Chains A and B, each alone.
Chain A
Amino acid sequence: MLLLVLKRILLGFITLFIVSLITFSGVEVLPGDACTTYLEREAYGAALEACYERLGLNTPAYERYISWAAGVLQGDFGYSLSGEMRINDVLGPRVKNSMVLASASILIGIPIALLLGIITALWRDKLPDIIISTITIFSMTIPEFISATLLILIVAIWLEWLPGIVIVPTGASISELLPNIILPVIAISMIMTAHMARMVRSSVIQVMASDYVQMAILKGVPYWTMVFKHVLPNALLPAINVVALTIAWLLGGVVVTEVVFNYPGLGRLVIESISNRDLPVVQALAIILASIYVSINLIADLMTLMLNPRLKSLQIKK
């Protein structure tokens, strides 16, 4: 059991290592380097030399990778090109802001998704299922920027219920952020919730058709006891991993939504750093987003391990 956990954690680190290699070599392989892309037309002579000097681009690639990776391991991403600021200072508050947005979406999305998924499965092919399933199909296909734009148009402009654009500074506290994130959270969680609801639905339907659920019915187990004791634990276990993948996928949507709402999170930083060709920041963002992805999947893996009786019994035997 412990070995399994360690193995998963090790695999997570290997994945991150490969990610760092990919981003690092990706930047190396693509035409131009940090200095030429940053300086653009002025990339010649003394200015270029100075830039190389400053970034240490004169040393061989592997040496740079090692020193960069060593920094990252200690939580230091180095300096950005544009502001010559420490990347850590730039990222810190924005990571927090984005986490607030993402966690709020997850916290609201998962329970709704579970509820909708279970309802649609239990009332399969009946009216509640048909209505909810139709809605989920629509809400999972519409891109975030469209639902965000529509939300702003309807709720903020026409109805004037909520502010359409987030106007808080990057360093705002959570209590300052909260009223502003209602619309972004709705926009982000729509796709995710729809996806998860569909997955939960099909997982529950699958379990409902199993021999052991039929057996529970034939044993005289009351309907809701059967649902809670025999169906849900077995249906939700395999759904955990898929839910984790959906959450990880949501990160891309967060970026777009943040731009639409002018939210001071990682999303805008992504666009800004890419527009400014600030490659060190881009690398840092890649690593951070990848680590979030890896940790979410790791948590899901560990949860599955803990909850699965097949693996639990391994523990007992040892």
Chain B
Amino acid sequence: MTLEKEQKKNNLQKVYEVIKTMASKPSGLIGLSILLFHVILAITSPLYVPYDYKAIDPSLMLQAPSSEYWFGTDSLGRDVFTRTILGGRTALTVTFFGSLIALLWGGALGIFCGLVGGKIDDVVMRIIDAFLSIPWILAMLLIVSLLGTTTLVLIPALGFFYGKGIVRVARAATHDVIAKDFIVSARARGHSNLSIIWNEILPNVRDAIMVEGAMRWSWMLLGFSSLSFLGFGVSPPTPDWGLMISNARGLMSFAYWAVLAPIFGLSSLIIGINLTADAFAKALGIDRSTKAPV
């Protein structure tokens, strides 16, 4: 077997071991199961939803849960159960790809800054600090209101705003690594910068960046659903938990079910992602509780 193949096998084995470690603790197992459940639901739900999510029927307004309408109906007479199991699809897609973008640009810029140091690093970090100091909600609202609420706007915009924190983490991790003798050793041997980044630095900062990315995912979900809640996320009639909560809120003294169902959906997904991210961090030996949610 050649070295490259062995590396691939080792990587696969590592992924398997990490998942095994994550599932070995109850909290990790619960998190992983919830996440898996939501992902499967999001992919397959259109195949078996009982009703049309956008069919408006005034005669069915605000029906209490029954055997026919498990979670009742909303103020427009739409089936809450149908809308709830469909309601995570946009959120999951947008935040998953958003986190991926955040991970990539944040990680790349962070490693770059950590590596070059000096003035360039100073300037970039100043700008990152400035972006951090603008509340994410203000910036997101502004972008969305000017550019529209399509996923093609939301994904890169969220990806950009949630990547700032990853820059810091990646930069700090790179700083830790480049002081190590194995980097000095590689430099003294005369490896190119690219080969040092790829072979020596990346494998050692990868874990920290991925944990940070997983963590961002849950923040981003929180941010995205807050946007929807405020009416700046997905546009109706697309079912979305944030929007459903916002719409049903006014009438919750009569029809609490229309609020509780999407609240349960959203909360369980966020908790699932969070527990998974936590277990992921622990499995990789990284303590994430010392970090601020920025």
Contacts and interface: CB of A to CB of B under 8 A. Distances in A.
Interface string A146-181: 100110110001000000000000000000000000
Contacts of B145: 274-275, 277
B62 interface: no
Nearest to A145: B229
A16 B294 CA distance: 18
A245 interface: yes
A88 interface: no
A256 B289 contact: no
B133 A26 contact: no
Given A30-B143, A271-B230, 13 more contacts: A11-B126, A15-B130, A18-B130, A30-B146, A143-B270, A144-B226, A146-B245, A157-B253, A245-B294, A255-B137, A256-B229, A270-B137, A270-B141
B274 interface: yes
B134 A202 contact: no
Nearest to B252: A153
9 contacts: A16-B133, A22-B134, A242-B291, A249-B294, A252-B223, A271-B141, A275-B145, A282-B138, A290-B133
Interface in A20-41: 22-23, 26, 30-32, 37
Contacts of B287: 202
Contacts of A103: none
B271 A15 contact: no
Contact of A141 (B142, B218, B252): B218
Interface size classification for chain A = 35 or more
B222 A143 contact: yes
A26 B142 contact: yes
Interface residues of B, number: 52
A304 interface: no
A300 B224 CA distance: 29
Contacts of B261: none
Contact of A251 (B135, B143, B223, B246): B135
Interface string B243-285: 0011001001100100110010011001100110010000000
Name which of B127, B143, B147 has the most chain A CB atoms within 10 A of its CB: B127
A242 B290 CA distance: 8
Interface majority SS on B: helix, strand, loop or mixed? helix
Given A252-B136, A256-B229, A294-B133, A157 B252 contact: yes
Contacts of B147: 30-31
A18 B71 CA distance: 50
B33 to A, nearest CB: 16
B194 interface: no
> Which are the 3 A-B pairs with shortest beta-carbon distances?
A245-B292, A18-B130, A293-B133
Given A157-B253, A199-B292, A256-B226, A286 B143 contact: no
B131 interface: yes
B270 A141 contact: yes
Interface in B101-148: 126-127, 129-139, 141-143, 145-147
B266 A143 contact: yes
A137 interface: yes
A147 to B, nearest CB: 9
A56 to B, nearest CB: 21
Contact of A137 (B229, B278, B290, B293): B278
A283 to B, nearest CB: 10
A149 B252 contact: yes
B225 interface: yes
